[in-house]
Amino acid sequence: MSADTMTILEDIWSVLRFTLFEISGHKISLMSLITSGAIFYFTLLVSRYAERGVGRLLADRRDIDSGVKDSIKRFTRYTVLIIGGFVALDTIGIKTSSLAAVGAVLMVGVGFGLQNITQNFISGLIILLERPIKVGDFVEVKGVNGKVLTIGARSTLINTRDDISIIVPNSQFISEQVVNETLSGDKIRHHVKVGVSYGTDPKLVEEVLMRVATEHDSVLKNPGPKVFFKDFGNSSLDFVLTVWISDLWFYEGILSDLRFMIFEGFKEKGIEIPFPQMDLHWKSGEVSLRS
């Protein structure tokens, strides 16, 4: 190796070893920053492989709920990232005891604009621990209705029935009212309301509604459908058909099919579906005009 090459290498090494600043007496150089960055990048790769590896190990465990599996995978990744972060900080000379000062600086930053990020991150941890929602659930929060695709550290991805992906901050699932249609199981009961004219035999109405429900393939047989004579309306006898459905994604199409079938069934039996009516009574009187 020539003398010029050695000189260039020595100059590069001196630049890498040059002290940029000091933290608690520890000299921070460009070399230490590059090493720390490389360690953290390697930690990112390891955390992803660790998450996938745990996922493969849990894939065949049918006794573990899918939400629990997802939580374990996420915590595995976060654990590897935290350990790698401490190792990366230790490489540049920042000890755990020195993080108190850094934490104070971060708290100032939180006060100036990072509070939402911190709130969403903590909310994400709470979701993974308490599991009010999990991947695959059908939820509604602040008018957003759809299927949970992923639960991230900061936000949750929801796919609507119109195939639109919406990113919802995790804090909304903690602070807002959330409707989870699948928390207690993979089926849900829906209602189909219908009114018939006064004078119609209620038993005939019940017969048609039950026949329609039992003939539809997507309506569960157990629990079975039921018909309720709901009320005596202003212009109709009001009934409610309740059906249990397991295909939660396409429930609107199933309910639409039932309404078509009910209309045809009523038409076949001569049952009239009335439109709203209003009776007006006009009372005339004498009016005297005096000049």
CA nearest to 152, candidates 171, 124, 173, 131: 124
**What is the tens place of the pLDDT at every residue in 189-226?**
899 999 999 989 999 999 999 999 999 999 999 889 99
Domain with CATH 1.10.287.1260 in the chain: 12-130
Q: How confident is the model over 121-179, as pLDDT tens digits?
A: 788 878 877 788 888 888 988 888 889 988 887 889 999 888 889 999 988 988 888 98
How many CB atoms neighbour CB 281 within 10 A? 4
Q: Sign (positive/negative) of CA torsion 93, 94, 97, 101? A: positive
In the chain, pLDDT over 90 holds for what percent of residues?
24
50-90 pLDDT, tens digit each: 888 888 887 777 666 666 677 777 778 888 888 888 777 77
Specify the CATH number of the domain 138-180.
Answer: 2.30.30.60
- Is the separation of the CB atoms in 188 and 244 below 8 Å? yes
- Min mean pLDDT across 58-62, 186-190, 245-249 is at 58-62
In the CATH scheme, what is the code of domain 188-269? 3.30.70.100
Provide CATH code, domain 12-130: 1.10.287.1260
* Structure confidence at residue 76 (pLDDT): 83
The pTM for the full model equals 0.57
Domain with CATH 3.30.70.100 in the chain: 188-269
Q: Which has the closest alpha carbon to 129: 80, 75, 167?
A: 75
Instruction: For the chain, give every residue range classified as CATH 2.30.30.60.
Output: 138-180
Confidence grade of residue 16 (pLDDT, cut at 50, 70, 90): low
pLDDT tens per residue, range 104-122: 555 555 555 567 777 887 8
Predicted confidence at residue 291, as pLDDT, reads 46
